[in-house]
Amino acid sequence: MSDNTYDDLHVARPHPVGANGRPIRKDEIEIPERGLYVESWLPERRSRRRPLLFIHGELTGSWIWERYLSYFASRGWEGHALNLRNHYWSAGADMASVGFDDYLDDVLAVMNKIGMSCVVVGHGMGGLLALKAAEKQSVGAIVLLDSELPRDLRSPARPHELREVPDIYGRDHIGWETLPEKLLRDNRDLTLPDVIRLQHMFGQKPHESGQAKREILEGIAVDRAHLAGIPILVVGAGLDGTSAATGAERLADWIGGLYEPFGAHSHYGLVIGESSYQQVADGVRAFLESHRL
pLDDT digits (tens, 9 = 90+) for 112-130: 999 879 999 999 999 999 9
Model pLDDT, residue 20 = 62
Model pLDDT, residue 166 = 97
Q: Domains in the chain, start-ordered, CATH in brackets?
A: 6-290 (3.40.50.1820)
Segments of the chain with pLDDT less than 70: 1-21, 23, 240-246
d(CA 267, CA 195): 12
Model pLDDT, residue 4 = 36
> What is the 3-state secondary structure of the chain?
CCCCCHHHHCCCCCCCECCCCCEEEEEEEEECCCCEEEEEEEECCCCCCCCEEEECCCCCCHHHHHHHHHHHHCCCCCEEEEECCCCCCCCCCCHHHCCHHHHHHHHHHHHHHHCCCCEEEEECHHHHHHHHHHHHCCCCEEEEECCCCCHHHCCCCCHHHHHCCCCEECHHHHCCCCCHHHHHHHCCCCCHHHHHHHHHHHCCCCCEEHHHHHHHHHCCCCCHHHHCCCCEEEEEECCCCCHHHHCHHHHHHHHCCEEEEECCCCCCCCCCCCCCHHHHHHHHHHHHHHCCC
For helices 66-73 and 277-290, give the axis angle rounded to 10 degrees.
40
| Number of CB atoms found within 10 A of residue 124's CB | 27
Nearest to 209 by CA among 98, 89, 62: 98
Model pLDDT, residue 241 = 54
Nearest to 72 by CA among 38, 28, 22: 22
Torsion of CA 290, 72, 246, 205, to 10 degrees: -160
Model pLDDT, residue 42 = 95
Q: Position 32: which residue type?
A: P
- Contact predicate 242/149, CB 8 Å: no
